[in-house]
Chain A
Amino acid sequence: MDASATTQPAAIRVEGLAKRYRAVVALDGLDLSVEQGAFYGLLGPNGAGKTTTVSVLATLARPDAGRVQVAGHDVVSEQAEVRRAIGIVFQEPSLDRELTAREHLDLQGRLYHLDDRRRRTGEALERVGLAADADRPVRGFSGGMKRRLEIARGLLHRPRVLFLDEPTLGLDVNARAGIWEQLRELHAAGGTTVFLTTHSMDEADALCERIGILDAGRLVAEGAPEALKSALGGDVVEIGFEQPDGCAAAELLARIEGVLSVTREPEAARLRITVRDGSRRLAALLEAVRPHVVSEVALHRPDLEHVFLHHTGHPFEPERLGGGG
């Protein structure tokens, strides 16, 4: 082993990872490290490179450059060892339409050499609410049912490192809460390192101990969600107006001491102001917009969307920042 042998080896270690698909640069010198037993979230907009990262980590795509280790093994030269240690829930469908839910899990159990696969299969089906549909071919499943089956399959062998590529995409609120609960339990039971990708700020915030923010193939920020948010050093004040022309007050507000940024949301007739010491400056802010009729005021800590905006200079999901929410 190398110098890192003195400390506990990381569950995932990525150094200078680059990956391109013909002309498209998907990953551009990615560095990241995830400790054993951590719950890590990779957050990024569409096309940021999340799936590409997971594919390389799971031995399905070859890195063009860089060194990548998972569970202490190199993903290029020790593929078999890596595969034994990991589990994965793909973003894209990966089921056989002609097989039943139970047959999928049974095959998984056999491929991972689980002695008690019958019991585990039954339990897993129960947990994701597919017990009643266990013996129907997947062909007749709804999107959410398929998703839940994919998750059950990824967790069945209790992998040391679990990759979840946007696991709750397309699930309804209940199913999503159920999956979150299951992931929390799995993680609390210890031993499993979870690496989750998402473009849902809520999901990253709710589940992950640490998050990395990925944009255009690079990691632009990393840390605990709370730390990332407080590092922005301000509060967010939202002022809603009776009329959209209230947004004209933006320039005035920007000149007030302590104001870091002002974002206009004309469709919602609202301004978003990032300001140091929000509660003390609230009165001054309201004074400045006085000629316009204010309909609502909210003061809160910055969320991950602000973190993203701050580090990349562009909104995470333009339509969400712009529209009402």
Chain B
Amino acid sequence: MSRALGDTLAILQRELLRYRRDRAYWVGQIAFPLAVVAFIGFGLNDVVRLPTGADYLGHLASGILALLVGSAGVGGGMTLIQDRESGFLRALLVAPVSRTSLVLGKLLARALASVALVALLVALLAVFTPVGIPHPAAALLAVVAITVAFVALGVVLGTWLRSVEAYRLLAGLVTVPLYLLSGIFYPVSTLPAATRWLSYANPLTYGVDLFRYGLLGVNEFPVAVSASLLGVLTLASTIGAVVAFDRGLRE
């Protein structure tokens, strides 16, 4: 057991080293939400009225952060393809390390990096938006669940796609509808009935809602419902990623 833990930590550390060195990535991830909030958020703030009466700026800012966490997860899944392209994956696969440790290391690394990113951005956004961190545990669960689900999705795609380009394209096709139907930009309750049901079926909806509860204290769905759904989602995604990784990488 402690062996498996040590292996997972070793993988985790390697993934974190890579994330830390990717300067362009961090600059982009920090500049993007700030730019959206600054250029769009302030303009719309006076125009858009939310049915809850809450401030639109906070809604948009928290939504953009959730979007960021999702796309970071997709990027985390892409590292599998990158590792295969560089050949490094071979060196990992031949080492006496369980597939579970390899996948968990990847999932944890991305989750940690996203938690750090969100913490940093919340601190910055708190200066000029209503975003804060009234419920840290809820925010943490939401970040972890969204990350793990998207990395897992990426691992599944990555086991049968060979190129980064194909991955980007397909991941975009799958995730953009998920984002649009998740209440990132507008509350789900304001959507037309038909689309609203699609949103209810979208797990990301509950991730965004719980995340928003964590950052603003505002929620559309009961916290207990979202939290349990996300707990199950995290577990299922983790298992799915391990199984896909194990099955998909045999020659």
Q: Are B95 and A112 in contact (CB under 8 A)?
A: yes
Question: Inside 8 A of B53's CB, which chain A residues have their CB?
Answer: none
Q: Are B86 and A93 in contact (CB under 8 A)?
A: yes
Considering only CB atoms, which chain B residue lies closest to A84 in the complex?
Answer: B96
A55 at the interface (CB under 8 A from B): yes
Question: Inside 8 A of B92's CB, which chain A residues have their CB?
Answer: 111
A88 at the interface (CB under 8 A from B): yes
Shortest Cβ gap from B29 to chain A (Å): 17
- The size of the chain A interface, using a CB distance under 8 A, is 29
With beta carbons under 8 angstroms apart, the residue of A61, A94, A103, A110 that contacts B17 is A103
Shortest Cβ gap from B40 to chain A (Å): 34
Given A60-B93, A86-B94, A99-B17, residue A111 in contact with residue B10 (CB < 8 A): yes
Tell me, in angstroms, the Cα distance from A108 to B17 when the chains sit together. Answer: 15
Q: Are A60 and B18 in contact (CB under 8 A)?
A: no
With beta carbons under 8 angstroms apart, the residue of A59, A92, A99, A112 that contacts B18 is A99
B120-138 interface (Cβ within 8 A of A) = none
Tell me, in angstroms, the Cα distance from A201 to B92 when the chains sit together. Answer: 31
Tell me, in angstroms, the Cα distance from A275 to B86 when the chains sit together. Answer: 50
Tell me, in angstroms, the Cα distance from A58 to B6 when the chains sit together. Answer: 23
A62 at the interface (CB under 8 A from B): yes
Shortest Cβ gap from B100 to chain A (Å): 12
Q: Are B91 and A98 in contact (CB under 8 A)?
A: no
Q: Interface of chain A, helix or strand or loop or mixed?
A: loop
Tell me, in angstroms, the Cα distance from A96 to B92 when the chains sit together. Answer: 11
Question: Inside 8 A of A93's CB, which chain B residues have their CB?
Answer: 86-87
Q: Are A80 and B96 in contact (CB under 8 A)?
A: yes
With beta carbons under 8 angstroms apart, the residue of A90, A97, A111 that contacts B95 is A111
Question: Inside 8 A of A98's CB, which chain B residues have their CB?
Answer: 17-18, 21-22
Question: Inside 8 A of B86's CB, which chain A residues have their CB?
Answer: 93-97
Q: Are A59 and B94 in contact (CB under 8 A)?
A: yes
Q: Are A111 and B7 in contact (CB under 8 A)?
A: yes
Tell me, in angstroms, the Cα distance from A90 to B6 when the chains sit together. Answer: 25
Per-position binary interface string of chain A over residues 128-146, scored 1 when its CB falls under 8 Å from any chain B CB and 0 otherwise? 0000000001000000000
Q: Are A107 and B251 in contact (CB under 8 A)?
A: no
Question: Inside 8 A of A86's CB, which chain B residues have their CB?
Answer: 94
Question: Inside 8 A of A111's CB, which chain B residues have their CB?
Answer: 7, 10, 92, 95-97
Q: Are A92 and B87 in contact (CB under 8 A)?
A: yes
Q: Are B6 and A96 in contact (CB under 8 A)?
A: no
Q: Are A99 and B14 in contact (CB under 8 A)?
A: yes
Q: Are B251 and A61 in contact (CB under 8 A)?
A: yes
A153 at the interface (CB under 8 A from B): yes
B90 at the interface (CB under 8 A from A): yes
Given A90-B87, A90-B91, A111-B10, residue A55 in contact with residue B251 (CB < 8 A): yes
Q: Are A90 and B17 in contact (CB under 8 A)?
A: no
Per-position binary interface string of chain A over residues 89-119, scored 1 when its CB falls under 8 Å from any chain B CB and 0 otherwise? 0101111111100010001101111000000
Shortest Cβ gap from B8 to chain A (Å): 11
B88 at the interface (CB under 8 A from A): yes
Shortest Cβ gap from A12 to chain B (Å): 15
Q: Are A94 and B6 in contact (CB under 8 A)?
A: no
Shortest Cβ gap from B245 to chain A (Å): 14
Considering only CB atoms, which chain B residue lies closest to A52 in the complex?
Answer: B251
Q: Are B6 and A110 in contact (CB under 8 A)?
A: yes
Shortest Cβ gap from B113 to chain A (Å): 14
Question: Inside 8 A of A55's CB, which chain B residues have their CB?
Answer: 251
Per-position binary interface string of chain B over residues 83-118, scored 1 when its CB falls under 8 Å from any chain A CB and 0 otherwise? 100111111111111100000000000000000000
A83 at the interface (CB under 8 A from B): yes
Tell me, in angstroms, the Cα distance from A281 to B240 when the chains sit together. Answer: 74
Tell me, in angstroms, the Cα distance from A145 to B82 when the chains sit together. Answer: 21
Question: Inside 8 A of A107's CB, which chain B residues have their CB?
Answer: 10, 13-14
Q: Among the interface residues B10, B86, B94, B250, which one has the most CB atoms of the partner chain A within 10 A?
A: B94
Shortest Cβ gap from A196 to chain B (Å): 17
Q: Are B94 and A88 in contact (CB under 8 A)?
A: yes
Question: Inside 8 A of A103's CB, which chain B residues have their CB?
Answer: 14, 17
B1-54 interface (Cβ within 8 A of A) = 3, 6-7, 10, 13-14, 17-18, 21-22
Can you give 11 A-B contacts (C-beta < 8 A)? A60-B251, A86-B94, A95-B88, A95-B91, A98-B21, A99-B17, A99-B18, A107-B10, A108-B95, A111-B7, A111-B96
Closest 3 A/B residue pairs (Cβ): A110-B10, A94-B87, A83-B96
A92-B90, A95-B86 are known; give 11 further A-B pairs, CB within 8 A: A62-B251, A93-B86, A95-B87, A95-B88, A96-B14, A96-B83, A99-B17, A110-B6, A111-B92, A111-B95, A112-B96
